Amino acid sequence: MKQIYLDHTATTPVDQEVVDVMIPYLSKVFGNASSAHNFGRDAKVALENSREIVAAHINCEPSELYFTSGGTESDNIALMGVAQKYKSKKHHLLVGATEHHAVLETAEFLHNKHDFKLSVIPVDVDGFISADSINKLITEKTFLTSIMLANNETGTIQNLKPLVDATHAKGALFHTDAVQAIGKIKVDVKELDVDLLSLTAHKIYGPKGIGALFVKQGVRMEPLFYGGSHEKKRRPGTENIAGAVGLAKTLEIAQRRMDADHAMLLELSEYFIAKVKALLPDVYLNGPMTNRIPQTVNLSFQGVEGESLLLGLDLKGVAVSSGSACTSGATEPSHVLQAMGIDKVISQGALRFSLGRSTTKDDLDYVISVLPEVVNRLRDMSPIYNK
């Protein structure tokens, strides 16, 4: 059976070019970057070279970039670290309603267990946030606003600058989870004017287990981990050199391919959306048609459960996702679609197709050839779908 992977927003295969540059750092160059001897120095040089490349990609200073294990850890360090530092003076934080759980659950933890005040910023039907919404919620006691750059379920690209300005106007810091944006669109921390930014490698053909947190010079925070002076004590633990080297190469490749990939994915996703809508009635695109990461296509099939559709497609060799991979097993429809005010029944029929570099028109044509059969079978059995 054909196997077609349309879940590139969950994770991606590692580019061979990335694998090749990592291999020596898994064997020959094995030193501990903190060691004073020659072995350590070789590792340290590789680490710092990688830091420069990653920093250049987002236009920050290498000294402002901290390697972590990935997006979830970066988000945790950002929120908890800043909260710890500011708690004696400020106790309020703002997060977007459609954030990844790495941000939402961390914010809820701060609220539930550490008495921070938490406000959730509403979004419009396409997932966008207005500066006005921030102005309504922000106070002198707010220490941080956290809003993602691109959404993992719908691909919505937030226009951050006005939101950052509204936050800074009240003297609060701004964090963005850029995990779904990095490498796919231009991310420049100076243009965005953010204070903290999370990124990871594995969503863009890099290895799992490596990411980074940008912390603007002058931002004060407490570490989450203790136990050494690695990453200037902000993230102790023996450095993952192979990972850092891999992340740097991943971003180099992403930079090189960005425009071409973007154009290709836009064309394919528009083709796919149009074809599916032409073949099946009552199909809706969740999220905007423009200002969207083109690889992420979130479609609702009215009258069916996304979970059933996902399993039906898996049995046909098509790998997709309902909601985010991190929430599979949740009882409620996606919090992202709910926040966007999308009807509960329609949200339950949502499925995320996410395309990637290896996706071809043939792949999509295969999906288009099996999708109606699965959808129609489920609709025939559905107690809520009226034909």
Partner 1 sequence: MAKKVLVAMSGGVDSSVAAFLLKEQGYDVVGAHMKLWDYVEVGGDIYKDGRCCTIDSITDCRVVCDAIDAPFYVLNMSRHFRDTVIEDFISEYDKGRTPNPCIQCNSNVKWTEFLRKAEELGCDYIATGHYSFIEQGENGRWSIRKGVDVTRDQSYVLWGVSQDALSKTLMPLGGLLKSEVREMAHKYKLRTADKAESREICFVLDDDYRRFLIEMAEKNDKSYVPGEIVHADGRVLGQHKGTAFFTIGQRKGMGISHPTPLYVQIIDIENNRVVVGDNDTLFKSELVADSLNWIAIEPQSEPFDALVKIRYLHDPSEATVIPQGDGSVQIKFKDSQRAITPGQSVVFYDDQTLLGGGLIVS
* Positions marked active-site: 326
Stretch touching partner 1 by CB under 8 A, among 55-63, 82-90, 163-171, 376-384? 376-384
Decide if 71 contacts 173 (C-beta within 8 A): no
CA–chain centroid gap for 101, Å, is: 10
Which residues ranging from 295 to 334 are in contact with partner 1 (CB under 8 A)?
Answer: 307-308, 311-312, 314-315, 328-331
CB of 110 to partner 1, least distance (A): 19
Positive/negative CA dihedral, 331, 332, 335, 337: positive
By beta-carbon proximity to partner 1, the closer residue of 45 and 381 is: 381
User: CB within 8 A of 261, min separation 6: which ones?
Assistant: 184, 254, 357
By beta-carbon proximity to partner 1, the closer residue of 38 and 331 is: 331
Could you give the CA distance from residue 106 to residue 173 in angstroms, rounded to a whole number? 17
By beta-carbon proximity to partner 1, the closer residue of 302 and 308 is: 308
CB of 232 to partner 1, least distance (A): 35
CB of 201 to partner 1, least distance (A): 26
Decide if 249 contacts 232 (C-beta within 8 A): no
Return the residue matching tokens 């200073």. 61
Does 381 bind partner 1 (CB under 8 A)? Our answer is yes
Which residues ranging from 170 to 189 are in contact with partner 1 (CB under 8 A)?
Answer: none
CB of 76 to partner 1, least distance (A): 20
Structure tokens at 167: 């936050």
By beta-carbon proximity to partner 1, the closer residue of 140 and 380 is: 380
By beta-carbon proximity to partner 1, the closer residue of 218 and 329 is: 329
Q: How many residues of this chain interact with partner 1, rule: CB under 8 A? A: 13
Return the residue matching tokens 């701060």. 110
Could you give the CA distance from residue 76 to residue 282 in angstroms, rounded to a whole number? 39
CB of 313 to partner 1, least distance (A): 11
CB of 223 to partner 1, least distance (A): 27
Site string for partner 1, 56-95 (x = CB under 8 A): ----------------------------------------
Stretch touching partner 1 by CB under 8 A, among 136-144, 288-296, 360-368, 374-382? 374-382
Q: What are the distances in angstroms from CA 131 to CA 27, 79, 122, 128, 337?
A: 50, 21, 11, 10, 21
Return the residue matching tokens 């243009």. 191
Does 384 bind partner 1 (CB under 8 A)? Our answer is no
User: CB within 8 A of 95, min separation 6: which ones?
Assistant: 103, 104, 107, 118, 119, 120, 121, 145, 146, 147
Could you give the CA distance from residue 104 to residue 76 in angstroms, rounded to a whole number? 10
Decide if 100 contacts 71 (C-beta within 8 A): yes
Could you give the CA distance from residue 42 to residue 40 in angstroms, rounded to a whole number? 5
By beta-carbon proximity to partner 1, the closer residue of 2 and 220 is: 2
Binding site for partner 1 (CB under 8 A): 307-308, 311-312, 314-315, 328-331, 377-378, 381
